[in-house]
């Protein structure tokens, strides 16, 4: 197959009511593992890069390596910049070879979000690069390097997803004004590890689906119950972002292995073998659940 943009990879998903998994991959080992599962299952796949993993020369190393992997893959692969807020960095990422980018202006006033998103779209579309935006705001549970993050008993320590749901009244105006290719919507999910069990607003999603003229995206797919993911797909979600569950699978396995050893002089190829398989199990299960398995003929 070949490198594709987000618009290309989500067109069939929207038409046939399945979702494509979008997996953050911080290094080559993670990227190769996800592609191997996608090829095994004959599934299209979206590999995402995070700004924190791409600073400095890492941007070129990441895009050069992953573009080479994608071109050799037997399934469609989209390289997507996840949750970027700096326009100059987004443009640099486009120039470096990303086929899709996300500008996250979800915390901005809507007209400012529209203005900056439109600027990104105008630049990206010159290079056939797709643009995802966010309307409403998907907040955080426990993410990144935080051991505590948002605490279950601290009402001020986390974003209540119900406070930032996507407003249907704003959706058409936003899409028409920006010419985006995909839209991340806030319907009750959260990034990272959930602090509280998610309450998804399917009535809101149904309304949004009837309005949207572009594929809709769910952020915070890790930890969201399987039945909720299935129902979200039925109601128009075409791309689901996964990261925390991959990390949990990898590092739980790695922790078990390291705790079983008397010394730490372990070759990385040995240390990472089982953790990568554990991560691949997560990816395999998600692709199957989302309905993208056997979509590549």
**DSSP of 12-41:** HHHHHT--EEEEE--SHHHHHHHHHHHHHH
Domain layout of the chain by residue ranges: 6-290
d(CA 70, CA 283): 17
Q: Is 230 exposed, middle or buried (0-12, 13-18, 19+ CB in 10 A)?
A: middle
Dihedral sign for Cα atoms in the order 38, 43, 49, 50: negative
Among 6, 79, 72, residue whose Cα is nearest residue 47 = 79
Q: What's the pLDDT at 45? A: 98
d(CA 72, CA 3): 9
Q: What is the dihedral of CA 8, 201, 203, 166, to 10 degrees?
A: -60
d(CA 294, CA 288): 9
126's enclosing H/E stretch is none
84's enclosing H/E stretch is strand 77-84
Count the Cβ atoms, other than its own, within 10 Å of residue 205: 25
User: Which parts of the chain sit beneath pLDDT 70?
Assistant: 1, 140-163, 191-196
Name every residue whose Cβ is closer than 8 Å to that of residue 4 and which is 6 or more positions away in sequence.
44, 76, 77, 78, 99
User: Hey, what CATH topology would domain 6-290 get?
Assistant: TIM Barrel (3.20.20)
Dihedral sign for Cα atoms in the order 172, 174, 136, 243: positive
For 155, the token pair is 């009402």
Among the listed residues 24, 82, 140, 181, the single catalytic one is 82
User: What does DSSP assign to residue 106?
Assistant: T
Q: What's the pLDDT at 154? A: 47
pLDDT in tens, 106-119: 999 999 999 999 99
Q: What's the pLDDT at 213? A: 97
Left, alpha or beta for 56 (phi > 0: left; psi -120 to 50: alpha)? left
Q: What's the pLDDT at 221? A: 86
Q: What's the pLDDT at 163? A: 67
Contact indicator for 132, 80 with CB cutoff of 8 Å? yes
Is residue 82 part of the annotated active site? The answer reads yes
Q: What's the pLDDT at 153? A: 46
The model carries a pTM of: 0.92
Name every residue whose Cβ is closer than 8 Å to that of residue 72 and which is 6 or more positions away in sequence.
none
For 111, the token pair is 């007209």
d(CA 246, CA 244): 5
């Amino acid at each position: 197959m070949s490198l594709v943009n987000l618009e290309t990879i989500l067109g069939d998903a929207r038409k046939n009511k399945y979702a494509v998994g979008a997996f953050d991959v911080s290094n080559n080992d993670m990227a190769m593992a996800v592609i191997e599962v996608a090829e095994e299952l004959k599934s299209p796949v979206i590999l995402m890069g995070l700004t924190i993993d791409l600073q400095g020369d890492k941007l070129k190393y990441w895009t050069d390596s992953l573009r080479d992997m994608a071109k050799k893959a037997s399934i469609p692969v989209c390289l997507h910049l996840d949750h970027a807020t700096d326009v100059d960095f987004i443009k640099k990422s486009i120039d470096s070879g990303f086929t899709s980018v996300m500008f996250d202006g979800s915390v901005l006033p809507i007209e400012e979000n529209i203005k900056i998103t439109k600027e990104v779209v105008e630049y990206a579309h010159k290079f056939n690069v797709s643009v995802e935006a966010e309307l409403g705001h998907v907040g955080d549970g426990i993410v990144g390097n935080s051991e505590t993050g948002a605490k279950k008993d601290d009402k001020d320590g986390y974003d209540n997803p119900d406070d930032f749901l996507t407003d249907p009244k704003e959706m058409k105006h936003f899409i028409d004004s920006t010419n985006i290719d995909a839209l991340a919507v806030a319907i009750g999910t959260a990034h990272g590890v959930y602090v509280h069990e998610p309450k998804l607003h399917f009535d809101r999603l149904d309304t949004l689906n009837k309005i949207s003229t572009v594929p809709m995206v769910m952020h915070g797919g890790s930890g969201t119950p399987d039945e909720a993911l299935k129902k979200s797909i039925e109601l128009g979600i075409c791309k689901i972002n996964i990261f925390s569950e991959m990390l949990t699978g990898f590092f739980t396995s790695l922790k078990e292995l390291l705790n079983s050893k008397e010394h730490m002089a372990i070759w990385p190829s040995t240390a990472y073998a089982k953790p990568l398989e554990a991560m691949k199990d997560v990816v395999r299960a998600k692709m199957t659940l989302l309905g993208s398995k056997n979509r590549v003929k």
